[in-house]
Structure formats: C-alpha cells, structure tokens
C-alpha cells in the first residue's frame, strides 16, 4: 500500500459509511445533463467544508476544487455528475423515482444508469483523504466535477469557461469509470481505451397522404425503413473485418396514426470507431446512403443532418499509463489487469487535449464477483445489466472502496514521490 491508501484503510470504518449515504442520496436524486444543480451544490458544500478553494458554475454546473500542498506536480482528478433519461428498474430501496421534462418537453424518468453517482462519491472521498493526510504528499490537486458527459458537452463547456486561465495546468489528468466487471478489480490500458462516438439525427422528407391512397404520397416510412437496412451494410460491407466499428439506429420515428402517411421520418444514429479514417469513412457513407435512398424514393428535398453529440477517441498516454499501472499492480496485485478497449465513449479526453497534457482513464469493476463468475461460466455475461440499462446497479461493496483506492493509488504515483 502507498501512504494514501494506508490512510484510507485507517479511516475507512468512519469514512465509508458517510460516503455510502452520500452515494445513496445522489443515486436517489439524479439530474439530467447540464442540469446538475443539486448535485453540484452537494459537491461544492462538501469541498468547502474540507477546505478546498472551490469554484462553482464552471461550464454551467461544473465544480472545481483546488488544494495546494507545497511544491510538486499538479494532478487533476475528474468525476462526472449527470444522470440519464432512463426509468430505473433496479428494485433498490434507494432507487430513483425522479421524473422531469427533457429539453424536448417530454416527461422522462431519470436514473444514474451509468454510475456517475459512484464517480462523484469516489472523488469526494479521495478529496477528504487527501486533505486529511497532507503530510504524505506534495503538490496541487484539482478535483473536477464535470457536468454533461452523457451529452458530450460538459468537458468542453468547462474548458470554454476559462479553465486554462483560471486554474493551475495539470501535469497529468486522471479519471475512472465503473463498468461491468468483478467488483474489486481495476482495468487499465495504454493507447486507445475508448472509442470515438458520433450521434446524428437524420430527417427524411416525403409527402403525406391518406393511408388508402399511397400513390399520392412519397412515403417517408418506406424511405426510412430502406435507409435503416442499407445503413447496416456500411460496417458489414465497407469496413474491413480487422477494423472495429459499430453503427446503431436507436430511434426511428414517423407518423401518428395507422391510416395516415406522414410527411417525414426521423432516424437517430450512433457510431463508434477506433480509427479516424474509419470514422471519416462511416460518417461520409451515412450521408451518401441517406441522400441516395431519398433520391430513389423521389423525395422532395435532401435529408437534413444534425449532430447530436460527438466524442473523441480516448487514447491514454503510454508513459503516464505505465506509471499508473505499476502503482495499481503494487496496490491490487492480480486484481489489476490489462483490459481490452471498450466501444463506449467519453469526453474525458477533452481536458487533456485542450490543455495539451497526458491523461489516463481506467475502469473499476462494479459487478458482484459471484454473479459475474457464474455468468462467465454459463456464457451469459451479456445478460448482466450493463451501463445505461434501467437495471444497472453497481454493488456498493467493495466497489465504493476499490474506486477510492484506485483514485488515490494513481494520484500517489505523482504526488507521493519521495514521501513515506
């Protein structure tokens, strides 16, 4: 163990119950992206009581806490705070029952179906351990609580709000995410660890008519159906089998009644890629196919394309990842492992890209090990509720403690050099 995780071990009987209550409260009261007002208030108050220099409303609802502790490296620790428009179905006693109207005015359930409540709790706990054990480390810590990760806006909003000018430049940026893997395990990887993600809305235009007289229409439902099928050939027929990519159509909306042919139809697409050339090809192919299908249907005009969100590839710095990985191995032994890249996407890397500094992102398992091992044995791992599922719920123990340990372990690789 390093000095910070030793300090955590000594205080865990008092600290962990407090953090567990914070986690349950955050879980029960999720907020949608860029609306994390209550969560940000809890974070700001907690950091202020600890003694951090706190800046609120950074990038709308973001919070930055600064802790200076002598000469040494500056380490940024990041957590995201937003929930998802998902109706929770976990059955937990602290499950969310929150319902709000989204940006389109539609009433939706809200849940922490991606674990950002856990991420926020981890960073609050790490902040407390750091401030209570200054004798074990030197340098400056930036505790960054980011809004809007789920819409790909939060990190850029914070940077656009002057983070480069307002706060010390980090020497390294560290972040972590709870995932489906045995709780207690930590997965790291240098290079690409998360895919680029692009979400696009495509509106197809037709000509509406009565359902009994299709000859007087230009049917956008047929147009959308043909487009949806043809889009699936991009990955299967235009991308080499050695190049990983995913194209998903998550929404196809058209019409209101069975006997009315509508005027238009809307597709919402999501693309994940690990290579910029592949990414560029797929995005171009989407436009080509959508336009061609509209032309084939004699549509009155070309389709309308709107970018919903866009996430860059998360590419961990090799040297910094090696440094963090060595610390993980010393702390966790065989529980620390080299993971495969995930097709999920993050805007975490925006901080490192804009600041021009190395960053490291890793995973913390949140699944009951017995459940995971049984599913693996039965070849049913895909049946475990994953991130964004309404049934996604990390087990509290040991996930809460492991996430604290991994964050402190990684930070100590920079902050505790020469300290004991």
Query: Is 150 annotated as ligand-binding?
Result: yes
Residues 31, 149, 219, 347: which is the catalytic one? 149
Distance, in Å, from the CA atom of 417 to the CA atom of 73, rounded to the nearest integer, reads: 10
CA nearest neighbour of 271 among 262, 263, 282, 281: 282
Q: Which residues contact 409 (CB under 8 A, 6 or more apart)?
A: 2, 4, 5, 324, 327, 328, 330, 331, 332
- Contact indicator for 269, 161 with CB cutoff of 8 Å: no
Residues 31, 80, 82, 88: which is the catalytic one? 82
Query: Is 31 annotated as ligand-binding?
Result: no
Looking from the CA of 136 toward its CB, the CA atoms found within 13 Å total 19
DSSP state of 359: E
Is 36 assigned a catalytic role?
A: no
Is 82 assigned a catalytic role?
A: yes
- Contact indicator for 272, 345 with CB cutoff of 8 Å: yes
Q: What is the dihedral of CA 218, 222, 226, 231, to 10 degrees?
A: 90
Query: Is 136 annotated as ligand-binding?
Result: no
Radius of gyration, CA atoms only, the chain: 23
Distance, in Å, from the CA atom of 287 to the CA atom of 305, rounded to the nearest integer, reads: 8
Query: Is 88 annotated as ligand-binding?
Result: no
Distance, in Å, from the CA atom of 352 to the CA atom of 317, rounded to the nearest integer, reads: 10
DSSP state of 235: I
Q: What is the dihedral of CA 320, 326, 327, 329, to 10 degrees?
A: 140
Distance, in Å, from the CA atom of 120 to the CA atom of 116, rounded to the nearest integer, reads: 6
Neighbours of 198 (CB within 10 A): 22
Binding site listing for Mn(2+): 114, 116, 150, 177
- Catalytic center residues: 82, 149
Binding site listing: 114, 116, 150, 177
């Amino acid at each position: 163990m390093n000095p910070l995780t030793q300090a955590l071990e000594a205080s865990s009987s008092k600290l962990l119950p407090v953090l567990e209550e914070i986690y349950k409260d955050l879980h029960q009261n999720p907020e949608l992206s860029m609306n994390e007002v209550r969560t940000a208030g809890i974070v700001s108050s907690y950091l202020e009581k600890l003694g951090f220099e706190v800046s609120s409303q950074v990038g709308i609802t973001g919070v930055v806490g600064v802790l200076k502790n002598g000469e040494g490296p500056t380490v940024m620790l990041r957590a995201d705070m937003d929930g998802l428009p998902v109706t929770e179905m976990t059955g937990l006693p602290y499950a969310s029952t929150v319902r709000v109207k989204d940006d389109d005015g539609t009433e939706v359930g809200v849940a922490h179906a991606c674990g950002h409540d856990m991420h926020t709790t981890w960073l609050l706990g790490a902040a407390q351990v750091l401030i209570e054990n200054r004798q074990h480390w030197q340098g400056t810590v930036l505790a960054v609580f980011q809004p809007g990760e789920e819409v790909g806006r939060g990190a850029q909003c914070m940077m656009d709000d002057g983070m480069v000018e307002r706060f010390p430049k980090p020497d390294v940026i560290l972040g972590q995410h709870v995932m489906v893997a045995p709780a207690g395990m930590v997965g790291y990887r240098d290079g690409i660890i998360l895919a680029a993600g692009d979400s696009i809305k495509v509106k197809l235009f037709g000509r509406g008519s009565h359902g009994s007289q299709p000859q007087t229409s230009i049917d956008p439902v047929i147009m959308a159906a043909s487009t949806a099928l043809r889009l699936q050939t991009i990955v299967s027929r235009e991308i080499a089998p050695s190049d990983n990519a995913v194209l998903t159509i998550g929404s196809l909306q058209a019409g209101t009644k069975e006997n009315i042919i509508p005027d238009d139809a809307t597709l919402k697409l999501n693309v994940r890629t690990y290579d910029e050339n592949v990414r560029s090809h797929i995005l171009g192919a989407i436009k080509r196919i959508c336009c061609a299908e509209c032309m084939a249907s004699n549509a009155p005009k070309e389709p309308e394309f709107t970018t919903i969100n866009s996430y860059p590839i998360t590419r961990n710095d090799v040297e910094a990842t090696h440094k963090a990985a060595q610390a993980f191995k010393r702390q966790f032994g065989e529980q620390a492992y080299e993971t495969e890249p995930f097709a999920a996407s993050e805007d975490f890397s925006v901080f490192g890209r804009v600041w021009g500094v190395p960053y490291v992102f890793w995973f913390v398992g949140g699944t009951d090990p017995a459940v995971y091992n049984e599913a693996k044995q039965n070849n049913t791992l895909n049946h475990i509720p994953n991130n964004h599922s309404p049934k996604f719920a990390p087990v509290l123990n040991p996930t809460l403690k492991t996430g604290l340990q991994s964050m402190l372990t990684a930070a100590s690789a920079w902050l505790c050099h020469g300290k004991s």
